[in-house]
Amino acid sequence: MTRDRDPAGRPRNARPRDGLGRPLDRAAEPGSAADPIPDDLVITGAEAAALADRLLRDGRPFHAHEVLEAAWKYGPATERDLWQGLAQIAVGLTHARRGNARGAVTLLRRGTQRIRTRPTPNGGDQPYGMDIPAVLAAADDLASRIEQHGLDPIPPASLTLRLLAGDP
């Protein structure tokens, strides 16, 4: 089988995935896969924050991670730790939704630590309209709850995160 590659020769994964990024059978029913995030997505700043926020609210943290990863790759170097930390938090939420408590706690903690130790860029605590203190508090709270009680008593709504400030 020939692997799908981009024009630069880097491998891509054309296999359909579910809403949590798990690969589906190549012969899966059309429409059973979640809308993919393109491998070559170039997105930064407010546009990345808004799209990742929508995906997180829709319960699609794996796809939000893809957007946040693109923002860290294509954004300014001064923002790299912010975007990487947010991507790690999204992966932590993905692990939680997949039932992996240990992975969830590890990535939630790693992401919040990366964000806390970053240089504060322009925008302070609300770069691109994101409420970073609220994101950190929610990720910390979720990690603590998972550590104390496991994933079973945590409702799916608690595995959803908001990035943007001021939205209901």
Residue by residue, pLDDT tens for the chain (168 residues) are 565 666 666 555 565 565 566 555 556 554 444 566 666 677 889 999 999 999 999 999 999 999 999 999 998 999 999 999 999 999 999 999 999 999 999 999 999 999 998 876 555 788 999 999 999 999 999 999 999 999 999 998 899 999 998 755
Q: With the C-alpha atoms ordered 58, 92, 97, 152, is the resulting torsion angle positive or negative?
A: negative
**Could you give phi then psi for residue 166, rounded to 5 degrees?**
80, -5
What confidence tens digit (pLDDT) does each residue in 11-32 have?
555 655 655 665 555 565 544 4
47, 70 Cβ separation under 8 angstroms: no
> CA-CA distance, 39 to 60, in Å (whole number)?
16
